[in-house]
Chain A
Amino acid sequence: MSFLMKRRRRNWSIFTPSPVGMVLSYLPLLGWAFVVLFPLYWLVVTSLKLPIDVDSGPFYVPFVDFKPSLHAWHYIFYDLRNDTFRPYWNTVVVSLTSTALALSLGSAAAYALTRFTYRPRLGAILTFMGCAILAIIAVNLRVPWQIAVVAAIALFIILLTTIGRRFKRALGNNDIAFWMISQRMLPPVAVVIPIYVLFQRLDLLDTWAALIITYVAANLPMVVWLMRDYFQSVPIELEECAAIDGASRYRTFWSIVLPLSLPGLVATFLFVLVFAWNEYLLALFLTSAKAQTLPLTIAAQNATRGPQWWYMSVLILIMIIPVIGMAIALERYIARGLLIGAIKG
């Protein structure tokens, strides 16, 4: 593999700008860096202010403009420690778990979509939808859901084996991929109550499992789309060599393809983690006390009597610090991650 590593070291000399170019480049970069960092600085400063300092108009520098106070930090970490640490722990567990699962299932699916050709028959899909609708109607008519689901599956299999041969018209890989990403089109507010009812029937409300399953299903399409582009660039010759040597597809995927795509995996991991970490609406509905996550605590700082900026700033800061830490640590992978066409022939 070493010859591949060597090719990655690029000769950047043609991209080194002249001194004038350097100055011209630094100006917008520094400008945007200020635009990014100033709001974060304001967050830190606000978390150190007393309510009266916030209401009386802008004060910028602690010790110079105003007297900083740790009351907000004390309140969040001490007075509310259970209400802060429990959601924090829940967020960490749920995000990491769902991201790991989404990555494994999603990259497997993405790999499959680039290496295999699928031709799902349109008729089969329509039959499946029909059976699903029948099952849902049955459940609505008070049939116990276990019976309805089993009956629907049985019906589907029967129909498929009997009239299945008739279906000719088929879709392709791109359609499957598009179907996956189209799951993200509907805003969560529309599906939140059905999902709530679904998990209630399964007795999984207010558990980690409910959130994890939902986040995996919601973020898997993202993994598939991001990794697909990447897997397409891993040369197929490597896998063919491995196959000739007698390795199974699974072995090839695990030992050859995945390690080569590690940067892409890491980058996708970070993206999906951020999505799961920050999700609000589904967490609001699927949890009540035990499994509550941190975005709920932040939104909840807006009491009916008005937002309490100082507490909110503290919460936002403790929420982004671990993610920022992870981003800094993984940054070198991110840039080289999502390498598209990295190893061009």
Chain B
Amino acid sequence: MSVADRTQGPTPRGSGLEPPSALSRSLDALAARLNRRAGTAFLLPGVLVVLFLSIFPLIVSLYISLVRLKFVKGGFELTFVGFANYAKLLVGIDHVHFLGLLANPSPLGWLVFGLVVVSQVVLLVQYFRTGKVSVAGTVGRIVVALGVSAGAWLIVHTLSPAGRPGTVVVTLLYVFVGIIVQYLLGLGLALLCAQHLPGRRFFRVVFLLPMMITPVGVAYLFRMLTDTSKGPFYPIWNALGLANTSWVTNPWGARAAVMIGDIWQWTPFMFIVLVAALESQSVEPVEAAVVDGASRWQIFWEITLPEILPVSSTLILIRLIEAFKIVDLPNVMTNGGPGTATESLTLHAYTIWRTLDIGGSAAVAYMLLLIVTFIGVAYANLIRQRLVERA
């Protein structure tokens, strides 16, 4: 591993007035050697710590996804079963639970699917037109196109009236709807708070609070709040005539409840980072634009937004990775929903794991890893780079 410095190295000290002693010369040499190795010294401890706790568990859990656990006299035994656990999820007994019940999509569904496929083809064509084509780039983009189309196909077929989404689609729903709403809400609140309003600091502190509560706590809190007979909103439900229905026993109502809890909890994360980014913008371009007579909207769209795009893209990537692991809210609020309506992938793995079917649970977790890696890599390589370049 070679390390190239981006700054100049230090020049040896000493004014040359006295001959350097042997000790100080060797100390100097040592210091210089340490300094050259600074690149390694800075990075290696961190990498080692992460490596230590990632190598063994990752490889072992991959192995576990290929076995079945059984308790026998004297302990337990793991039988190697190859891809049986994965097969169960994709085509076997559990596939309806995992992928969903497929049915013919509605006309709107066909339209959406068609649009997605067309957009992928257009992007591919655009890429080839640029001329800067490489093997890796082509293969990568084709894989992305196929993956996105497959995802769209699954979503459209399971969200149709006769179909039922499985845990994959439900998780994708939570992630994408959640992130879009959290980002827009966070950005809106940040824009409002970046103004020179009296009492700004109060709002900044208050808006930070939901993120501080432990996820299990938030889940129980929302369970209390969404209770239609004992919860605080009972008078409102009653007035609306809803006292005798419960929204958590309806699949979409339950999913909405989970998403609301998720948005409540994680909007602060977006909010705080965006406030910081907005407050750190340089003033000169904005002042110049005002002098030139630009409207607030133009200032936002042309100046502010490009400046906060790099931060936003990092933020969205971090939040994307975390959002896929949602488990406490659906678990505590509805135990996975009426039937399996609100079950996310991690909850799916967790319920299987509770009965010590660790093979099946690891298989679900690795499918989740596959999906997240795919989306993460696609996002990082394709979208994020564009956003950073644009800034």
Contacts and interface: CB of A to CB of B under 8 A. Distances in A.
> Direct A–B touching in the complex (beta carbon < 8 Å)?
yes
Contacts, number: 332
A58 B324 contact: no
Interface in B29-57: 31, 34-35, 38-39, 41-43, 45-47, 49-50, 52-57
Contacts of B222: 39
Interface in A323-345: 323-324, 327-328, 331-332, 334-342, 344
A178 B195 contact: no
Contact of A25 (B12, B195, B225, B358): B195
Contact of B376 (A22, A26, A185): A185
Contact of A33 (B13, B58, B207, B269): B207
A124 B57 CA distance: 21
B376 A327 contact: no
B132 interface: no
A341 B35 contact: no
Interface string B344-378: 01100110010000100110011011001100110
A315 to B, nearest CB: 8
A144 interface: no
A58 B232 contact: yes
A94 to B, nearest CB: 14
A334 B205 CA distance: 10
Contacts of B235: 58
A29 B283 contact: no
A15 B42 contact: no
Interface of B: 1-13, 31, 34-35, 38-39, 41-43, 45-47, 49-50, 52-61, 64, 185, 188-189, 192-197, 201, 203-217, 220-225, 229-235, 264, 269, 272-273, 275-277, 279-283, 286-287, 290, 307, 310-311, 314, 317-318, 321-322, 324-325, 327-328, 332, 345-346, 349-350, 353, 358, 361-362, 365-366, 368-369, 372-373, 376-377, 380
Interface of A: 10-17, 21-22, 25-26, 28-29, 32-33, 35-40, 42-43, 46, 54-58, 60, 105-106, 108-109, 111-113, 115-121, 124, 129, 132-133, 136, 176, 178, 180-191, 193-195, 197-198, 213-214, 216-218, 220-222, 224-226, 229, 236, 239-240, 243-244, 246-250, 253, 267, 271, 274, 277-278, 280, 294-295, 298-299, 302, 307, 309, 312, 315-316, 319-320, 323-324, 327-328, 331-332, 334-342, 344
8 contacts: A16-B196, A43-B221, A116-B42, A120-B1, A190-B362, A213-B49, A331-B205, A338-B273
